[in-house]
A = this chain, B = another copy of it.
């Protein structure tokens, strides 16, 4: 069984989206030996209820860990929300924050597949290189090395930003609110704000009136009706190498707590996965 650290909150029950093989089942819909993904425990053997299961896993020619990422909750989040909220059009200028993360790396690549110009912001040189060389982003920058976010955005987006897929909130969102007319912001995450006593203030929200900007906040669930369509679309892309999904796998349950903590300071490169057991 394999569990992932996503969607965990310190202090809550230790569960997360994970992949598991059914060893025994009281539900005739799930038979011994089948693979599923859904909410599982941080443990090698779990007793889970049917309602915790999202989907059976049918395609095993891709790594099972992918069902905690591109073919799991982060995948459906990126797939459903980027197209639905951002209404991307060919040639538009797209900004993604936490851009090498579980969701960000997908949003950027979806935008590239549509013919958009894509820039990612990340927290290390290694991640900048990853975005440019492996995920095909047009440009990327390390926000920790930029004295002025405004200047970095101006340099990377001389013509302005049409779409911002926001995984961080805070200063980055504030700077990007100076965007192009009819800009769209998908507000997905707030990783920069989790460990602050008070969220950072936003000064530029007033711009949304004259610029006719739309900001849509959302959480990841509720889009699972699109899952079969997403699989049909993304499986060929992965098999053909048109999409690359990077995972950062912490081996062993004993390494999982540190991996979880590392998420908040951006230690992970790619989707953080905790591998509790292998087949």
- Which A residues form the contact surface with B (CB < 8 A)? 169, 173, 187-190, 193, 198-199, 201-219
Contacts and interface: CB of A to CB of B under 8 A. Distances in A.
Contacts of A207: 217
A214 B216 CA distance: 4
The 8 residue pairs across chains A and B that have the minimum distance between CB atoms? A208-B217, A201-B201, A209-B217, A202-B202, A199-B206, A215-B215, A214-B216, A202-B205
Residue among A193, A199, A215, A217 with the most chain B CB within 10 A? A217
A259 to B, nearest CB: 23
A28 to B, nearest CB: 35
A212 B208 contact: no
Nearest to A188: B209
7 contacts: A190-B206, A201-B203, A205-B205, A207-B217, A208-B215, A211-B217, A214-B214
Residue among A169, A198, A218 with the most chain B CB within 10 A? A218
Contacts of A210: 217, 219
A15 B193 CA distance: 46
